């Protein structure tokens, strides 16, 4: 899923002035799973980004990361809107939501594109 998200975010971005992309995830408690997820994220970034763009994957506890808490709240508000037709929380962030789609309901979107050398 991260590949679709990153592909969507990076698809129309000019990467000529970008030196580094940093992806921050919540800590993953099971070490085996954490290594597999990190490898998948790095492989995805490697294929999406131009060769000159470095990338890092960082893991932070969401309880101590304001950015992860904001992302979690926004996802939760959108989830409530779609799953329960409860727009109370979504209405608070509506002006900041640039786009949204239900990838499972509308079918696979091809945002994953290999890097251009």
pLDDT at 115: 44
Helices (H), the chain: 2-10, 31-48, 66-84, 88-93, 103-106
Using CB atoms within 10 A of its CB, is residue 58 exposed (0-12), middle (13-18) or buried (19+)? Answer: exposed
Distance CA 4, CA 112 (A): 6
Of 63, 71, 64, the C-alpha closest to 23 is 71
Of 8, 30, 26, 2, the C-alpha closest to 110 is 8
pLDDT at 111: 46
Find the farthest-apart pair of alpha carbons in the chain and give their distance in angstroms, rounded: 45
Domain ranges across the chain: 2-106
Q: Tens digit of pLDDT per residue, the chain (117 long)?
A: 778 888 888 777 888 889 999 999 899 888 888 888 889 889 989 988 888 999 999 989 999 999 999 999 999 999 999 999 999 999 999 999 988 877 777 655 544 444 444
pLDDT at 34: 84
């Amino acid at each position: 899923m991260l590949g679709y998200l990153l592909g969507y975010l990076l698809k129309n971005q000019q990467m000529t002035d970008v030196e580094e992309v940093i992806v921050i995830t919540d800590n993953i408690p099971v070490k085996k799973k954490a290594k597999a997820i990190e490898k998948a994220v790095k492989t995805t970034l490697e294929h999406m980004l131009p060769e000159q763009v470095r990338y890092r994957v960082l893991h932070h506890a969401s309880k101590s990361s304001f950015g992860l808490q904001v992302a979690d709240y926004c996802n939760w508000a959108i989830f409530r809107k779609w799953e329960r037709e409860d727009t109370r929380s979504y209405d608070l962030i509506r002006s900041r939501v640039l786009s949204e789609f239900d990838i499972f309901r509308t079918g696979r979107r091809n945002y994953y594109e290999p890097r251009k050398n």
